[in-house]
A and B are shown apart, each in its own frame.
Chain A
Amino acid sequence: MDFWRVPLDADTIQVSLGIVHILEDRCKGCGYCIEYCPKQALELSTKFNQKGYHPPVVVKPEECVNCHYCEIICPEFAIFSVESPPITEPGRAGTHPNSAIKVR
């Protein structure tokens, strides 16, 4: 996460982090999850599922904050997020396990 000024409690605030699971064969390619993910973490994939639709693919897994919006807007029960354990190391609070904190 880029900070212009590091918040004073950056060490202690824990942004929730999530892992997205996609049940590809249920997807009908409506695109709502892609459109409404607040972190733009999803995109339409080029692969086809069993019914010939393009399911989403997680392109920015480190951005997922487990907001569940994809899960609740999906009409097909095809996508959901689960919480991934937050980092509690001092100095690395607020980061996704797969990225480093960047400060300008």
Chain B
Amino acid sequence: MQEIPKPSNKQPCHPLDDLIRTDRIPHIWCPGCGIGTVFSSCLAALKGSGINLRKTVMVSGIGCSGRAAGYVNLDSFHTTHGRAIPFATGLKLANPELNIVVFSGDGDLFAIGGNHFIHAARRNMDMTVICVNNLNYGMTGGQVAATTPYLAKSTTTPVGNPETPFNLPLMAYACGATYVARWTMLHIRDLTDSITEAIGKKGFSFIEALSPCPVNYGRRNKQKPLEMLKVYQEKAIIKNDADPSTLDIDFEKGIILGKFVDVDRPTFIEHYDKIYRPSRLQESVPGLNS
């Protein structure tokens, strides 16, 4: 009978350790928080996609999800609340060779940052936006957000949310994003595949990743983190190419996941180069009239 090789006494190296700032681990996210899983999935996608990591930049805003930029061992920018996308726009326009990943939360990207999101999607700025949707403003203690379900409790809607939430994939689709997908932090392999596809694709890609928020949203709405994962498992309906207008999240009827939009359109830089800097246009781009 063979001996099972024992792990060496030296601290073993997690396969993603070269992509994280190990001197800052353990990170600040709560036990059971899904941001760590989505972040891990994103790093696995970055590694597996084969893109030039030296030219890859992560930009984030303010909030729990925004802290991801502080943990990734790449060029990373932790900007002001809601302004990750325009900052990323400036980075990309200054150096079009950069691969930009915007990793931020639902409040940062769609409330204060909503205007920037819709315009970057409209322009088809070449970047991948990963939105960790935990249905509230987690970092500040659990306030209502643009994605908080109707009647849910939060610290600023203590008796129940009077507003209805956004349908994020519909918004992304309506604004012109060329890749739109939604997964949960339980569907890690699908999420990693989506992120890999999105990174490798030029244009504005948007991926929504649902996550529990055990300490804030979960506590106030009687959702233990493991229970939420069971809900994701049981209520998930994977329906690629679903009509984005049917994608409102309904925890009773079902949460539709999948890849909903995957089209090709010339990016802002391609249009700009065609009109203003024709010498930069290397090859003909489908969709750009010659």
Contacts and interface: CB of A to CB of B under 8 A. Distances in A.
Q: Do A and B come from one complex?
A: yes
Nearest to B71: A77
A61 B36 contact: no
A7 to B, nearest CB: 23
Interface of A: 19, 21, 23, 25-26, 28-32, 35-36, 51, 53, 61-62, 69, 71-78, 80, 84, 87, 97-98, 100
Interface stretch (B5-13, B51-59, B235-243): B5-13
The 9 A-B residue pairs whose C-beta atoms are closest, nearest first, are A75-B36, A97-B2, A28-B31, A30-B32, A21-B12, A72-B188, A75-B37, A30-B31, A77-B14
Interface string B39-51: 1110010000000
A99 B3 CA distance: 10
Interface residues of B, number: 37
B15 A75 contact: no
B16 A77 contact: yes
6 contacts: A23-B11, A31-B32, A32-B37, A72-B41, A77-B25, A77-B36
Contacts of B159: none
B29 A75 contact: yes
B4 interface: yes
A75 B122 CA distance: 33
Interface string B17-47: 1001000011101111111110111001000
Of B4, B11, B12, B41, the most chain A CB neighbours within 10 A belong to: B4
A35 B31 contact: no
A73 B234 CA distance: 17
Interface of B: 1-5, 7, 11-12, 14-17, 20, 25-27, 29-37, 39-41, 44, 185-186, 188-189, 192, 225-226, 229
Given A19-B7, A35-B229, A74 B1 contact: no
Nearest to A62: B4
B154 to A, nearest CB: 22
B31 A53 contact: yes
Nearest to B38: A75
A36 B4 CA distance: 23
Contact of B2 (A32, A77, A98): A98
A30 B5 CA distance: 27
Contacts of A71: 14-15
A28 B225 CA distance: 13
